[in-house]
Structure 1
Amino acid sequence: MLSRPIISLGEAPLSLDDVAAIARREAGVALSPAGREAVLRARAVVDRLVEQAIPAYGITTGVGSQKDFGVSREAIARYNNMMITAHATLAPGTNAPPEVVRAALAIQLALFARGRSGVRLELVEALLARLQADDLPAARLGSSVGASDIVAMSQLAVPLLGRPGVAPGGSGPTPVGALAAKEAISLLNSNSLMLAEAALALAEIRSLLDAATLAAALSMEGFRGNLNSWREEVDLARGQPGQIRVGGALRDALAASRLWQAGEARFLQDPLSFRCVPQIHGAAEAAFDFAHGLFEAELSAACDNPMIEAATGVFLSHGNMETSACCLGMDTLRQGLAKVIEASGQRIHKIQWPGFTGLPTSLAVEPGAIGGVQFLNLGHLAGANVGAVRQAAFPALLNYSGQLDDGVEDVAGNAPQSVAETVRCLVPAWNVVTLEIACAVWAIHRREVPTGALGRGLQPLASEILALLPIGREGETIFDLGPLVEAVKAAAGVPRGEKRHG
């Protein structure tokens, strides 16, 4: 068995691909010598502040609305232990999946390895040991307003103290037992859980957008649409990079298709949901690039407040934990995805509509009361799932209004809510894309277009989906869309066994 690659923390910034690989246990983690030295240098600054009793937020004072109260040197360990336990308050909800916890721990370790937090090397090594051993703590989702995942990150930290957490385990091989100055606030004061969820969602959306492009190409085959609207000249005339990228992917999928031949297209001009695939999917590609860039940058952000500057020996209070940029990026991406899914839903209906297809109602063998895709309620399923995606698409950025900590925290970025809505829309989005592919393949079969006459990039998936469709057997047994969804995910590059979103 091949050993996993090791990502060395403290040498280079984490990438979103790194986070996904660690989450799926496709890569391990280690602390680099440079990261070790950075941790030690920052810790020396914290030790000096404590030794000299300098008022420093969260180090020798309380936090939030209690920032003006000092903490004596003798009380520091007790204060830090109690703060972590007190901030870990439980509310009923869903626990973060194991892959999200792995990703969150890796992001937090990478933050510490940059040498701006001031925690002890012993704490970093304890965190690293439990991630390497896959002895994972648990945390509840849904407790953050986007100005650090304070509650959930505290829940992840509690087992380090030898105290019961959200679930058994998670202390790691070397629990620290007690915290030192600055460590409680550093453990809880990051957006690591939100970033972990976002990293995995972005990876899945990348595959989902690719699958949606394959679905649109199959629909064009089943509709026998006019490919002139998807020619490269059209994309270049628009000049939008996302559209150019999608147009190229569509033409690659349709390479050598019989549909390129003169006389194959049934209409001079197709409905907009077919004609505008490069434009709509191109907009989603632009939104993806925007969100991906923001979140990749955020993985390298020093969000721990206060920030330690080892070179100058000072600490800086700041607001880098604020997540408006992340929220805006994820809101934008979710709306772009929802537009893709809305157009997919329109094609699902058009491809079975006799007035547009020239085929029997519901793509049945012949007109009648039995058979076809509507006999299986595929149109209703599509409508419900499109509605769910559209509902989740509403932006979260401006939904926060609160006065936390006696008015000290009066704004928040709301990125956790935006990420949660994005995760919520993934299952219905996959369902819609799969339903489009199923209806498209059904229409291709009904038109008696041989698989070999389809675009080369579509033939393997079309063959696999056709074998899973109950054509000619509608109503004999319950049809299960699940195996088709898994086949579509595999074709789009989603790793087998990744069950996080259904």
Structure 2
Amino acid sequence: MIQLTGNTLTINEIKKVLFDNERVEIAKASMEKVNQSHEAVQRIVKEKKVVYGITTGFGKFSDVYIDSENVEELQLNLIHSHACGVGEPFPEMVSRAMLLLRANALSKGFSGVRPLIIETLVQFINAGIHPVVPQQGSLGASGDLAPLSHLALAIMGEGEVFYKGERVPTEVALNDTGIEPVTLQAKEGLALINGTQAMTAMGVVAYIEAEQLAKQSELISSITIEALQGIIDAFDEDVHVARGYQQQVDVARRMREYLSDSKLITRQGELRVQDAYSLRCIPQVHGASWQALDYVKEKLEIEINAATDNPLIFDDGEKVISGGNFHGQPIAIAMDFMKIAVAELANISERRIERLVNPSLNDLPGFLSPEPGLQSGAMIMQYAAASLVSENKTLAHPASVDSIPSSANQEDHVSMGTIAARHAYQIIQNSRRVLAIEMICAMQGAEYRGIEKMATATKEFYDKGREIVPSIVKDRIFSKDIEALAEWLTV
């Protein structure tokens, strides 16, 4: 059971909820804070104080006072009008993460919602009901307004959800589970949608996949080194300690461990004095990507425990402040950073693919073909990899440097963080396919060299890979192999 406090959630705990269906509950102490905050909102409404989003309109309408008898209608109108998401829905796993992160943020007790709202979010998680949330339509400031409005629709019993492997009207899932839809009261609609949980949920899922892919890239490139009889001296610890980046040192160490008992690696001067950069500089390049991923993880673990709505309620309602914690710039920059980091893993991988297939750069059969000339072998796999890394370069353009004013220029700088997170996820999918292509080529190259000479670690990975993609003995539809191996690397 994962207990939400609003302050202690980790990415490892999120993994358990997303992939192991770990159940969730709210800490009792947190619920007490939530209730106190809600009572403060009730007093504000009763005393007819002018407080943004509670007794006023939203955005440019923040100067319009709303009478107490209309506060529920105000919240309902907010969700209906802001549910403007378009395009394909977020992956179901991301929608699940949104529920979890919104429940955790509201559990901090700064938002003024009833405990019922958080309890309903948790019921959705534990029942496996995941709102259908369109991916496009968020500017990443004022919160992820459009995506989170679709999440709010679900707990109101409206919209659509993913449930038991199907996309169904929300009421179908609620009737099946006995969960009651909620009617939003003062501040609750705003509290649900004023936050960064769409970009952060997408970012967390992307980070989890990126971290796994970065680890796999080291094993895959180790097989490539064996296939090309690479020089192990370039991974010597002294070289990397001399530079001082810990992530670079760590990559070199893991590569040495993977290749420790290989009979296919060489020493300086045995076959050549130096390898090409795509082999020799793996620790430097991959290590730099790890530096970026470490930064991303740090920012995500702050954001998943952050109060990101507006206004925030402090001191039992004595202090209610309109601020800008909903602004997604910290996550936008982190997502752009992750885009570059993962794109570079694919970039250097594609160059290793070229070295594996180009007969001018190695002594293996041209394009790893079983019959060069008659059969093309891996020739067009390199084309596909080149296409993917080129697409990544376009996607890696930073979203966070863009801004378009909104709400009649009241909201005049926005983060585009949700776009950054979505593009990061696309880059990860592309990069995984590039690394799958490298693995197919590396396995074939190692086979030509003699798999009995492979290191224990790489041979074990090779054997698992061969269960998915058999040896190339004849040209076939390699698209199926690439997709199958990429799917295997995802699990």
TM-score band (shorter)? over 0.9
- 1:69 matched to 2:64: yes
2:427 corresponds to 1:425:
yes
C-alpha change, 1:64 and 1:253, in structure 2 (3 Å) is: same
2:26 corresponds to which letter in structure 1?
L
Tell me the distance in 2 between the aligned counterparts of 1:478 and 1:36. 52
Residue type at the aligned position of 1:416? T
* Equivalence map 1:212-361=2 (5 Å): 212-259=217-264, 265-311=270-316, 313-361=318-366
Counterpart in the other structure of 2:100: 106
Aligned-partner Cα distance in 2 for 1:83–1:276: 53
* Alpha-carbon offset, residue 104 of structure 1: 0.5
CA contact (8 A) 1:116 1:310 kept: no
Q: Deviations over 1:377-416 (max 9, x none)?
A: 222122112222222211111122x221111100011110
**Bigger mean CA offset, 56-65 vs 156-165:** 156-165
Residues 40, 317 of structure 2: 8 Å contact kept: no
TM-score w.r.t. length of structure 2: 0.92
Match of 1:120 in 2: 114
**Superposed displacement of residue 186, structure 1:** 0.5
Structure 1 gap segments, 5+ residues each: 1-5, 496-502
Residue matched to 2:437:
435
| CA deviation string 1:59-101 (max 9, x = no partner) | 111110000011111111122122211211353x111222211
* 8 Å CA contact 1:45, 1:314 repeated in 2: no
What residue in structure 1 maps to residue 124 of structure 2? 130
Of residues 414, 417, 436, the one that matches 1:415 is 417
Q: What is the total number of aligned residue pairs between the two structures?
A: 479
- 2:164 equivalent in structure 1: none
Q: Verify the 8 A CA contact 2:106 2:307 in the aligned structure 1.
A: no
Q: How much does 1:354 deviate?
A: 2.1
2:144–2:198: 8 Å Cα contact kept in structure 1? yes
> Equivalents in 1 of 2:487, 2:131: separation in Å?
30
1:373 paired with 2:378, answer yes
Name the SS of the counterpart of 1:308 in structure 2.
Answer: strand
Stretch moving more, 474-483 or 463-472: 474-483
Q: Distance in 1 between matches of 2:181 and 2:466?
A: 57
**SS class of match (1:205):** helix
Are 2:84 and 2:137, in contact at CA under 8 Å, matched by a contact in 1? Answer: no
Distance 1:204 1:371 in 2: 32
Structure 2: state its 5+ residue gaps: 162-167
**Which aligned pairs between 1:30-179 and structure 2 lie closer than 5 A?**
30-91=25-86, 93-147=87-141, 148-165=143-160, 168-169=169-170, 172=174, 173-179=178-184
- Distance apart, 1:356 and its partner CA: 2.2
Q: SS at 1:71's partner residue?
A: coil
> Which secondary structure does the structure 1 equivalent of 2:131 belong to?
coil
Deviates more, 1:303-312 or 1:33-42: 303-312
Letter of the 2:45 counterpart: V
* TM superposition shift of 1:267: 1.3
Aligned-partner Cα distance in 1 for 2:170–2:360: 61
Whether the aligned pair in 2 keeps the contact of 1:341 and 1:432 (CA below 8 Å) is yes
Query: Does the residue aligned with 1:94 lie in a helix, a strand or coil?
Result: strand
The CA distance in 1 between the partners of 2:6 and 2:158, in whole Å, is 33
Q: Which 4+ runs in 1 deviate beyond 6 A?
A: none
Identity of aligned pairs, percent? 26
CA distance in 1, matches of 2:129, 2:478: 44
User: Does 2:193 align with 1:191?
Assistant: no
